[in-house]
């Protein structure tokens, strides 16, 4: 199937049920109401030690004492990206394209990653020798396409993958989840790929009236284990089922707890 060839992985399409569709306004409102929770969960998946109340405090513009500046920067970045995503969806400006992804990545990666807002190879020439990988444990790594000046191959893969998703995947939930895994697998940026791809996934969902998905901090280990199998087997079926379980109607409200240790790095 051309879709699978362009994305670099497969999944059992018949096993992914259609998502419940309401309205763009309702999906965006629900996201805004839970914005601090989305930021907390995203930070926890990166091993960020900020607690839920601390995230709320920081998003309200009040600094939190006793935390590393790098951890604070990461939460602030996630907050800015989440707010920008909300405004994109609310104003019907969100697009599944490179400029949108680059803008969200710039917000996610400001003062934290190499070349925020640029594919690997499009930014500082000094970074051309950097070839990131995803650590899978037991001394195993997943290696994406190498970094090249101007990122010609990464741009080709992105353009063809997005075109295939647009043409062959009509259900917004399936398309959004597939996009997240596409971004996580291809590693278009030096770092922050999963974070950026999740924002893009939720933009796809909300702009079609489907509730956004947040992976709860309490399911970090489960998320990491399934992602390792995805990188190893290139089969997204298990991860898609997991993400469906994480949608609001299927996720019981849990009191936030300190973030567990982080898993596969990227």
Band (251; pLDDT cuts 50, 70, 90): very low
Task: Return the H-helix or E-strand segment holding 222.
Answer: helix 220-233
**Residue 256 contacts residue 51 (beta carbons within 8 Å):** yes
Three-class secondary structure of residue 185 per DSSP: helix
Average pLDDT of 154-167? Answer: 98
Whole-model pTM: value is 0.92
Q: What is the pLDDT of residue 263?
A: 52
Whether 255 has a pLDDT exceeding 50, the answer reads no
Q: Give which of 37, 54, 104 is closest to 253, Cα–Cα.
A: 37
Query: What residue spans define the domains of the chain?
Result: 2-250
The domain defined by 2-250 folds into Fic-like fold (1.10.3290)
**Residue 154 contacts residue 193 (beta carbons within 8 Å):** no
C-alpha to C-alpha distance for 65 and 102, rounded to whole angstroms: 31
Give me the half-sphere count of Cα atoms (radius 13 Å) on the Cβ side of residue 154: 23
Q: Cα dist. 97→133, 161, 183, 207, 240 in Å?
A: 24, 10, 12, 13, 21
């Amino acid at each position: 199937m051309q879709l699978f060839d362009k994305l670099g992985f497969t999944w059992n399409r018949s096993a992914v049920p259609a998502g419940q569709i309401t309205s763009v306004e309702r999906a965006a409102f629900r996201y805004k109401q839970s914005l601090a929770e989305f930021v907390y969960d995203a930070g926890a998946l990166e091993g960020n030690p900020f607690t839920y109340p601390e995230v709320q405090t920081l998003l309200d513009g009040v600094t939190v004492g006793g935390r590393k500046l790098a951890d604070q920067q990461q939460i602030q970045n996630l907050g800015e990206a989440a707010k920008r995503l909300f405004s994109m969806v609310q104003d019907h400006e969100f697009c599944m394209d490179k400029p949108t992804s680059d803008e969200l990545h710039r917000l996610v990666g400001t003062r934290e990653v190499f070349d925020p807002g640029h594919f690997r190879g499009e930014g500082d020439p000094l970074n051309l020798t950097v070839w990131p990988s995803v650590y899978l444990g037991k001394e195993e790594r997943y290696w994406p396409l190498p970094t090249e000046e101007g990122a010609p191959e990464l741009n080709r893969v992105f353009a063809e993958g997005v075109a295939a998703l647009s043409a062959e995947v009509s259900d917004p939930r399936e398309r959004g989840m597939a996009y997240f895994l596409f971004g996580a697998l291809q590693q278009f940026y030096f770092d922050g790929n999963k974070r950026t791809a999740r924002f893009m996934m939720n933009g796809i969902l909300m702009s079609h009236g489907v509730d956004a998905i947040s992976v709860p901090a309490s399911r970090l280990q489960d998320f990491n284990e399934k992602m390792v199998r995805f990188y190893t087997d290139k089969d997204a079926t298990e991860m898609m089922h997991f993400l469906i379980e994480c949608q609001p109607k299927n996720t019981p409200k849990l009191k936030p707890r300190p973030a567990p240790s982080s898993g596969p790095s990227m």
